[in-house]
């Protein structure tokens, strides 16, 4: 097949996905259902991962802003990191937005999720580049406003230097009284080792999660937020997003129903 371009991206994804064994995706669906976390590195081919990694790295090095805040909506958990906002990504990148918009990718994610996966209707939350680079940097315990997060790992330190993901499944977020520490005590914490090139799907609205503080090295990722149908009926506020980026971030998409793609595996 020819090189990946913006116009043939879905064709490449379709050819790649239809060649993947069913068993791997069946296990991913089971893992997501049981734990709120599914490692799915097979969802993207190496060619697209390379394009994403190059763009993520360039944006992190040229457009990122340092953040160091505590958010009361998540029991004052820390955000110590660099970020590139969705606005900057749209303005200065190409591939992140193109992969995010791919109907073929959403079809694959919908299969793993067991329900339609939609574009996030709140534009500032659709995607963000995050880099942890200093000892103690972390993306502390939190939930997300929308149902799913797809994370592509560009860089990650060895396990002994932190930067791994921790999750607590089947939890709920009360922004007025989050009780993060109560939920850590009352529910099991799962930890997930990662390596560069990994892709994972999180059920982010009911799975409390954090990136363990790094001790050394660097962790660079792009997070893509997706919605479920139920999110479209909710009254969702965006305090943590607006406080983290220290600006008011308008922008909401109209609700578009999930469209069936051309997945051939089941």
Q: What are 212's strand-pairing partners?
A: none
Pairing of β 199-203 and β 148-155:
antiparallel
In the structure, what pLDDT confidence band is assigned to residue 248 with cuts at 50, 70 and 90?
very low
Give the Å distances, CA to CA, from 118 to 35, 40, 45, 144, 259.
21, 18, 21, 15, 9
Assigned token pair, 134: 């200093």
In the structure, what pLDDT confidence band is assigned to residue 73 with cuts at 50, 70 and 90?
confident
More confident residue, 74 or 62: 62
Residue 211 pLDDT > 90:
yes
In the structure, what pLDDT confidence band is assigned to residue 22 with cuts at 50, 70 and 90?
confident
156 phi/psi in degrees, rounded to 5: -160, 135
Looking at residue 243, its pLDDT comes to: 64
Residue 14 pLDDT > 90:
yes
Segment 60-64 mean pLDDT: 98
3-state secondary structure 89-148: HHHHCCHHHHHHHCHHHHHHHHHHHCCCCEECCEHHHCEEEEEECCCCCEEEEECCCCCE
In the structure, what pLDDT confidence band is assigned to residue 75 with cuts at 50, 70 and 90?
confident
Task: Give yes or no for a contact between 260 and 192, defined as CB atoms under 8 angstroms apart.
Answer: no
Segment 230-245 mean pLDDT: 72
pTM tops 0.75, yes or no: yes
- Residue-range domain boundaries for the chain: 9-242
Residue 96 pLDDT > 90:
yes
DSSP character string of 14-51:
HHHHTTS-HHHHHHHHHHHHHHSEEE-GGGS-HHHHHH
Query: Using only C-alpha atoms, what is the Rg of the chain?
Result: 17
Task: Give yes or no for a contact between 222 and 127, defined as CB atoms under 8 angstroms apart.
Answer: yes
Q: What is the mean pLDDT of the chain?
A: 90
Name 16's Cβ contacts closer than 8 Å, sequence gap at least 6.
44, 45
pLDDT over 90 percentage in the chain: 79
Render pLDDT for 126-135 as a digit per residue (tens, 0 to 9). 999 999 999 9
Looking at residue 165, its pLDDT comes to: 98
Residue 259 pLDDT > 70:
no
Segment 204-224 mean pLDDT: 97
Task: Specify the fold of 9-242.
Answer: Jelly Rolls (2.60.120)
Segment 205-214 mean pLDDT: 97
* DSSP 8-state assignment for residue 252: B
Return d(Cα 261, Cα 54) in angstroms, integer: 28
Return d(Cα 109, Cα 148) in angstroms, integer: 9
Return d(Cα 226, Cα 121) in angstroms, integer: 8
Segment 48-68 mean pLDDT: 97
């Amino acid at each position: 097949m020819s090189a990946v371009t913006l116009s043939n991206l879905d064709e490449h994804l379709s050819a790649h996905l239809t060649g993947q064994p069913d068993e791997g995706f069946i296990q991913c669906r089971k893992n997501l259902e049981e734990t709120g976390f599914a490692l799915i590195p097979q969802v993207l081919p190496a060619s697209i991962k390379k394009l994403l990694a190059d763009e993520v790295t360039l944006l992190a090095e040229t457009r990122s802003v340092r953040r160091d805040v505590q958010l009361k909506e998540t029991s004052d958990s820390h955000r110590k990191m660099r970020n590139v906002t969705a606005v900057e990504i749209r303005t200065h990148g190409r591939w992140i937005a193109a992969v995010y918009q791919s109907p073929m990718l959403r079809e694959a994610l919908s299969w793993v999720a067991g329900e339609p996966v939609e574009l996030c209707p709140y534009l500032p939350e659709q995607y963000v580049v995050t880099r942890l680079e200093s000892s103690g940097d972390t993306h502390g315990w939190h939930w997300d406003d929308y149902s799913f997060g797809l994370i592509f790992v560009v860089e990650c330190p060895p396990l002994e230097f932190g930067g791994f993901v921790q999750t607590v499944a089947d939890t709920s977020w009360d922004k007025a009284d989050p009780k993060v520490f109560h939920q850590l005590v009352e529910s099991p914490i799962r930890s997930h080792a990662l390596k560069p090139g990994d892709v994972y799907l999180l059920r982010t609205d009911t799975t409390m999660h954090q990136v363990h503080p790094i001790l050394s090295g660097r962790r660079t990722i792009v997070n893509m937020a997706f919605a479920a149908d139920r999110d479209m009926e909710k009254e969702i506020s965006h305090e943590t997003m607006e406080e983290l980026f220290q600006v008011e971030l308008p922008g909401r998409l109209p609700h578009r129903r999930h469209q069936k793609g051309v997945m051939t595996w089941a």
